[in-house]
Amino acid sequence: MRPRLLHVFPTFGIGGMQTQFATVANALGGAFEHALVSLDGRAECRAKLAIGTPYEMVEAPDGASRGLSHTPAIAGFLRRRAPNLVVTYNWGAVEWCLVNRLLGPAPGIHCEHGFGADEADRPHLRRSLFRRFALGRSTPLIVPSTTLKTIAMNHWGVREQQVHHIANGIDLAQMARRAASGEAPFSRQPGDFVVGTVAPLRAEKSLGRLLRAFAGGAAGDPRWRLVLVGDGPERARLEVIAHQLNIRDRVQFLGSLDEPSPALAQFDVFALTSETEQMPYSILEAMALAKPVVATDVGDVARMVSAENRPFIRPREDGEGLAEALRRLSQDAAVRAVLGDQNRRRCADAYDESRMCEAFRAIYRQAMRP
């Protein structure tokens, strides 16, 4: 009988954490059975799970998203499901990690992929203490970035031997196939310079910063265009900012796309101006498609890109530096091509998808050993 893994997500909407899980589950095939709990009920990332990947969506008990106040319901649910391993994800499911450690029927693993803008500059003391309490001294913690590994040890008090750094990985050939799978959902004219991003329109993505950098770099040049792939609560505010900057006619909001790769393939430069990141999949995808990257220096972003691309990774507060990086790349297609090629090589050398998946297979197996 295949081992049964119960995964508890704050949400199973589209995101880097969910994409990583789907990639791993597809690669491991029938080695494990997966039961997925989405605490907010969203399940858009099911579209990334391949036909034949053994999984089921499971409804959480009533009130489970409210955490410890419903400890008996969570513990009872875990005992009824009787998995071989419980895998919890991010702050939104850390209480399940604690309940499982104290009252659950199976060993657990906790995965942290990052945090919101409220923890970007300074760790939240209460959350740090709670994470340490939830993990105890034995629950493995998986993180995608060296930055988050350092935070876990220095601020959450997690022992070094508990923390497992598994970098995100990508399949370059598959990414190329996805990019060629359909037409781009926008048209471009000869001579256009297209800056683009793929990101949910949420506060921590700081896309107002990107709008201002675009406006400063373009300096009225009508050939510049900005394409935003994603949707979210910040959209209306961002449209107002675009109007205020007099660039609304050059900014295209595409909304959420089931497959953003054909759009990404048409960008000249990929930009990400987040307040906080760790190891964003969107940057990996851009690198895999040989795109130069302009981004804020958060998480492991500067370590991710090629050495040649690192001068275009700028501090969050350096709005003029971001604008200048875009301006420099707009002026030289040959430089863009060199940076893109080096980024693709960096992906092939350092971020192979199969290594990531095998690392997860190993830690799943290790955690289930008596």
What is d(CA 3, CA 109) in angstroms, rounded to the nearest whole number? 15
- Structure confidence at residue 65 (pLDDT): 66
Q: What is the pLDDT of residues 151-160, one digit of tens each?
A: 999 999 999 9
Residues 230 and 113: their CA atoms lie apart, in Å, by 19
Residue 125 pLDDT grade (very low, low, confident, very high; cuts 50, 70, 90): confident
- The pLDDT tens digits for 270-314 are 999 999 999 999 999 999 999 999 999 999 999 999 999 999 999
**What's the CA gap between 198 and 232, in Å, rounded?**
12
For CA atoms 115, 121, 124, 125, the dihedral sign is: positive
pLDDT at 69: 75
Answer yes or no: are the C-beta atoms of 13 and 90 closer than 8 Å. no
Query: Per-residue pLDDT averaged across 335-347, rounded?
Result: 98
Domains along the sequence of the chain with CATH: 4-169+352-368 (3.40.50.2000), 172-350 (3.40.50.2000)
pLDDT tens for residues 27-67?
Answer: 999 999 999 999 999 999 998 999 999 999 999 888 766 67
Exposure string over 18-40, b if 16+ CB within 10 A, otherwise e? bbbbbbbbbbbeeebbbbbbbbe
The predicted pLDDT at position 369 comes to 80
How far apart CA 70 and CA 65 sit, in angstroms, is: 9
CA distance 172 to 290: 10
Q: State the chain's mean pLDDT as an integer.
A: 94
pLDDT at res. 68:
78
